[in-house]
Amino acid sequence: MQLPAVPGALAPSLLAFPLAFGVSAAPCHPPAVFVAFSFTSAVDLIVSLEEDGFVSGFAEVYVREGEPYLRTAHGIMICYWDGIVHYGLYLAMITAMSQRKSYRSLGLFWLGSLMMSIVVFLLGNLIGKYSSDISPAFLLNVPYILIPIWAGARLFQQPRALPCLTAEQVAEEQHKWLHQRPQDVALVLLLVLEAAFTFFRGMVILDCPADSCFEYIYQHEPYLRDPVAYPKVQMLLYLFYVLPFFCLCIYGLLRPGCSWVPDWSLVFAGAVAQAQFSHLGSSLHSRTPFPYQTPEDVWWSFLVTNVLYALGPQLLALRCLRRPAFFLPSTPASLGKKHQ
């Protein structure tokens, strides 16, 4: 039986799944999912290290014959992210479970990161230059979309940890105008700039005939023209999903009581962090053909712009975690409680 082409993981990693999930009809549990995924993360790190020449003899044959798209700059970057960041998140969540502590915030960040990674990877493989290498086994990747969705549903069902605040404290925070919250003013301005940049790059990838778009794609981010299609898919996801989220978050920072902001800010923080790491790394990696690499004369401006773009959602998520009173429901029954 042919093994499925799991995004960012080698075929031997699939052997962990029967052991983790069991062969019976018993339901899966989050610890088993995270243990299995942590194994595939370790394998992904080996793949990326081998493709960059740090180790050899572990995965060359499989990557060449089974998943050649992992040899692209984007494939290497997502393997680095999975092998380092996701692996650390799995260990942290497993540790929290063993100590009966909440892992909800870590899980939501992981959910956004993993979903962004797998969606860009799969769509890029389908429409990019490696689409001719897709076999029927590619359909077996579907479970690796469904499992994170199942895990995400479990995470959202967990009770949110709320601070011990009185109704008066919440009311005082929510009655402050924007100009009375200087940190939120800076955050709103940053999100407005990021929303504008998201829209601009979306127009660039959609072949807008404006001179500014033409200049940008050829002189600032030629990686957007790479036929592997990963950057094109990434910018389209930014345009149709991240841009509306930025607009909703600006609204949430202006109108108190938007209780959905803290949870979804964590999801999008993970998604944008993973996406920007892969995009930045792929733009500068030697595996990207030279015509599509970032020119040296704009290297620093490109780096600063994209790092700031990744920073906005992280600052928003941190603001929601540290000072959530502005986003809490104003009903007295929802205050003064602390869920574990």
Q: Which residue has the higher pLDDT, 167 or 108?
A: 108
Residues 144-158, mean pLDDT to the nearest whole number = 87
pLDDT band, very low/low/confident/very high, at 29 (cuts 50, 70, 90): low
Tokens at 242, concatenated: 């991240």
Alpha-carbon distance 52 to 82, whole Å? 16
**Segment 269-285 mean pLDDT:** 96
Token readout for 187 is 């955050």
pLDDT of 148 over the 50 cut? yes
3-state secondary structure of 179: helix
> Of residues 57 and 298, which shows the higher confidence score?
298
The DSSP output letter for 134 is -
Region 283-301: mean pLDDT is 93
Share of the chain above pLDDT 90, in %: 57
Question: Across all residues in the chain, what is the average pLDDT?
Answer: 84
Closest by Cα among 48, 51, 56 to 87:
48
184-229 per-position pLDDT tens digit: 999 999 999 999 999 999 999 999 999 999 999 999 999 999 999 9
pLDDT at position 106: 94
pLDDT in the model for residue 139:
67
The DSSP string of 54-95 is SS-SSSHHHHHHT-GGGGSHHHHHHHHHIIIIIHHHHHHHHH
Q: What is the mean pLDDT of residues 51-60?
A: 82
pLDDT at position 301 is 94
Cα dihedral sign, 306-145-9-223: negative
Rounded to an integer, the average pLDDT of 242-264 is 95
Name every residue whose Cβ is closer than 8 Å to that of residue 204 and which is 6 or more positions away in sequence: 213, 216, 217, 221, 224, 235
Mean pLDDT of 323-336: 70
CB 321 within 8 A of CB 163: no
Evaluate if residue 58 carries a pLDDT over 80.
no
Mean pLDDT of 246-269: 95
Whose CA is closest to 302, among 286, 324, 329, 284?
284
Rounded CA-CA distance 157/177 in Å is 32
Closest CA to 322 of 161, 93, 103: 161
Residue 6 has pLDDT above 60, yes or no: no
Which tens digits make up the pLDDT trace of 34-47?
A: 888 888 889 889 99
The region of weakest confidence among 120-124, 186-190, 242-246 is 120-124
- Whole-number Å distance between alpha carbons of 237 and 173: 34
Q: Say whether pLDDT at 302 is over 60.
A: yes
Q: Give the global pTM.
A: 0.87
> Does residue 292 contact residue 222 with C-beta atoms inside 8 Å?
yes
Amino acid identity, position 267:
V
Both tokens assigned to 279: 């995009």
pLDDT, tens only, 83-104: 999 999 999 999 998 898 889 9
Structure token pair of residue 299: 């290297």
Residue 169: per-residue pLDDT: 81
- Give CA–CA dist 80/187, Å, rounded: 30
Percent of the chain scoring above 70 in pLDDT:
86
Q: Hey, CA dihedral for 225, 111, 94, 160, is it positive or negative?
A: positive
Strands (E) located in 138-210: none
Among the ranges given (140-144, 179-183, 192-196, 232-236), the one the predictor scored with the smallest mean pLDDT: 140-144
